[in-house]
Amino acid sequence: MNKSKYGIYGGQYVPEILMPALQELEDEYSRYRNDPQFQQDLNYYLRDFAGRETPLYHAKNLSRKYKTKIYLKREDLVHGGAHKLNNTLGQALLAKYMGKKRIIAETGAGQHGTATSMAGANLNLDTLIYMGAKDVVRQKMNVYRMEILGARVKAVESGSKTLKDAINEALRDWVTNVDTTHYLIGSVVGPHPYPMIVRDFQSIIGKEVKEQIMQKEGRYPDSIIACAGGGSNAMGIFYPFIENKDVSMFAVEAGGSGMELTSKAALHSASMCTGEVGVLHGACTKVLQNQNGQILESHSISAGLDYSGVGPELAYLADTGRINPCHVSDEEALNAFHEMSRLEGIIPALESSHALAYVMIKAESGELGDLVVINLSGRGDKDLETVIKAGKWKGGNI
C-alpha cells in the first residue's frame, strides 16, 4: 500500500503549490517524532500545561443504571476542555522545530481554534484562525476566547460560511504563505501526512486507556465508543487497540435531525454511515455529496461533529469491518447530555454526548459487552446556550 493511503482512502489531492510543503512536513515529522528532545518537550507540555494524564473514571451511577461497567476517559479535563490540545501542542511544537513563525487553523465551533490559540500563545507563534461567518455568530464566546489568547479570528464569508469553507480558506492562505506558515489541521482529515500526524498526537488517549484499564480491570474492554465528526478523538482512542481484535469499536456519527438529504444539504453529518467515496479537502474519503459531486452542507446540534467528510483512516477501518460506524440523533444526544450531567455530575460536550447516547441505547442489548470505555472527549460548558435554544432545558426556572 502507498504510504499515504489507507486502502483507496487518503492521498494528497491538493494544488501543486502545496506538494513540496507536504513533503517537507512529512520529512520533518519523521525526523522529530522519535527525537528525544522533541519527545521530552512535548511530554513536558502535555503534563504540565495540558494536565495529562487524564483519569479513566468508573462511572458508577451510569454503570448501575445500564447494568454494564462503564468507564469514561476524561478528556474533558484537558486544559481548554477537550482533547483538541493534544494535537495543537504537538503540531505547534513541530512548527516551532521547523522554524515556522506563523500558524493558521480552521475551526467550526471554536474548540480547535481555542486549542490552537492556547498553543500559539504559549509557544509565541503568530496565530490566525479561520471560522465560517455563521459559526462566528453562533459561537461568539469562543471567538472572544481566541481573541483574548492573542489570536486573530477571520470570518469566512464564502460558500456555506461554515467549517468546510473555513478549511478552504485556510488552504488558500497556506497556498499563499506556504514558506512562513504551518497549517495546523484540527482533525484526522486533509492530505497526507495530516491524518497520520493528528492520529499520532491523539493516540496518547488510547495509550493511557490501555495502561489504566489493565491496572483497574486486568483486561482490555469489550468495547470502546467514541463520537466521530472528522474523527480525531475516535482515532486517538481506537488506534492503540487496532490489533486487539477482541476489543469492539464504535464510531458514533451525528444523525442530526434526520437521515435525509436534499440536493444542497444533509440533515445529518453521518458521512461514514451514508456518504459516498469522494475527494474533499485533499483526501479521498467518505463524503456527503449529491449525484453531481457537489459537497453537501451537513448538520448536527453539535458543532464539532458538523462536517461533510470524515478522516480517511476511519473510512478505511469502517470498510474493513474493524470499526462499526453508527449514528444517534440530535435528540438522543441531548437526552444523554442531561442524563449524564445528573447521574455523574459531569456536563459532557454535545459531541461526546453522542457516544454516551449510543451506550445508553445499546447497553441492554448486550452488544457492547460487560466492560465499556467511552471517550468523554470534551466538557459541555460551551454548549449550554445550544441546549437552552433547543428547548431541552431541564435546569429549573430561568
Partner 1 sequence: MRISDKFEELKSRNEGALISYICAGDPSTELTKSAVKALIKGGADIIELGLPFSDPCADGPVIQSATDRAISAGMTPERYFELVSTLQVDVPLVCMTYYNIIYKRGIKKFIEDCSSSGITGIIVPDLPVEESDELGLACAKNKVDLIFLVAPTTNENRLHKILDKSTGFLYMVSRTGVTGGSTDIGTDIADLLTGIKKCTDIPIAVGFGISNRNQVADIISYGAEGVIAGSAFVDIIASGKNVEHRLESLACDLKSGCRE
Site string for partner 1, 223-262 (x = CB under 8 A): ----------------------------------------
Angle at 337 between CA 334 and CA 338, to 5 degrees: 95
The answer to the question of residue 15 lying near partner 1 (CB under 8 A) is yes
The answer to the question of residue 292 lying near partner 1 (CB under 8 A) is yes
Q: Which stretch in 82-90, 242-250, 287-295, 369-377 sits in contact with partner 1 by CB under 8 A?
A: 287-295
Closest CA to 377 of 237, 241, 250, 196: 237
Q: Which of 117, 187, 352, 377 is catalytic?
A: 377
Active site residue 84: yes
Q: Which stretch in 105-113, 131-139, 169-177, 351-359 sits in contact with partner 1 by CB under 8 A?
A: 169-177
Using DSSP's 3-state secondary structure scheme, residue 259 falls into coil
Q: DSSP for 232-249?
A: HHHHHHHGGGTT-TTSEE
Q: Which of 69, 73, 84, 210 is catalytic?
A: 84
* Binding test (CB under 8 A) with partner 1, winner from 40, 99, 179, 396: 179
We find the least distance from the C-beta atom of residue 292 to partner 1, in angstroms, to be 5
Q: 45: how many CB neighbours lie within 10 A of its CB?
A: 20
Distance of CA 194 to the CA centre of its chain: 13
The answer to the question of residue 19 lying near partner 1 (CB under 8 A) is yes
The answer to the question of residue 171 lying near partner 1 (CB under 8 A) is yes
Q: Which stretch in 125-133, 137-145, 171-179, 206-214 sits in contact with partner 1 by CB under 8 A?
A: 171-179
176 φ/ψ angles, rounded to the nearest 5 degrees = -85, -35
* Binding test (CB under 8 A) with partner 1, winner from 221, 282, 311, 380: 282
In contact, 247 and 221? CB cutoff 8 Å: yes
Q: Which three cell numbers stand for residue 110?
A: 471554536
Residue 256, burial from CB neighbour count under 10 angstroms (0-12, 13-18, 19+): buried
- Cβ distance to partner 1 smaller for residue 83 or 100: 100
Active site residue 106: yes
We find the least distance from the C-beta atom of residue 165 to partner 1, in angstroms, to be 8
371 φ/ψ angles, rounded to the nearest 5 degrees = -125, 115
* Binding test (CB under 8 A) with partner 1, winner from 34, 37, 291, 397: 291
Active site residue 353: no
Q: Which stretch in 5-13, 83-91, 209-217, 226-234 sits in contact with partner 1 by CB under 8 A?
A: 5-13
Burial string for 154-171 (b: 16+ CB within 10 Å, else e) reads: bbbeeebbbbbbbbbbbb
We find the least distance from the C-beta atom of residue 21 to partner 1, in angstroms, to be 7
Please tell me the total number of residues recorded for the chain in this structure.
398
We find the least distance from the C-beta atom of residue 155 to partner 1, in angstroms, to be 14
What's the rounded Cα separation, in Å, for the pair 220 and 197? 25
The answer to the question of residue 276 lying near partner 1 (CB under 8 A) is yes
In contact, 82 and 74? CB cutoff 8 Å: no
Q: Which stretch in 94-102, 132-140, 173-181, 241-249 sits in contact with partner 1 by CB under 8 A?
A: 173-181
The answer to the question of residue 20 lying near partner 1 (CB under 8 A) is yes
Helix axes 84-97, 194-202, angle to 10 degrees: 120
Q: Compute the 3-state secondary structure of the chain and give helix, strand, coil in percent, each to the nearest 5.
A: 45, 20, 35
Residues in the site for partner 1, rule: CB under 8 A?
11-21, 158-159, 164-165, 167-168, 171-172, 175-179, 276-282, 284, 287, 289, 291-295
Give catalytic residues, as residue numbers: 84, 106, 377
